[in-house]
Amino acid sequence: MDENGYLIRTQRSPHRGHSTMQYQWWSARKKAGITRNLNPYSLRHFFASNCLSKGVPITDVAEWMGHSNINMTFKIYRHLMPASVGRAARLLNEGL
């Protein structure tokens, strides 16, 4: 990461062009032997889905995803958190 917070950049620009990223992604997929038609956004979704299904707080995931609040994160990933209601009910019952 550079001093401005950019993770992926070139020497002349604070960000890489779409075609450059597309080529690098395609090349990396080929070298890794990945045949599925995945894109970087697929990895982003995979990351968030795994975090939430493993119990990482939605507030943390929303921040990492760059969402301005948890509403967007919740709308997309709420299907991964059905057990949270059950956990909350158990904790409340134990406390009573």
Pull the structure tokens for residue 40. 């970087």
Cα separation, 55 vs 83, whole angstroms: 9
Cα separation, 42 vs 22, whole angstroms: 13
pTM here is 0.57
Cα separation, 60 vs 66, whole angstroms: 10
Please name the amino acid found at residue 63. E
pLDDT tens profile 4-62: 666 566 666 666 666 777 888 888 889 999 888 888 888 888 899 999 888 889 899 99
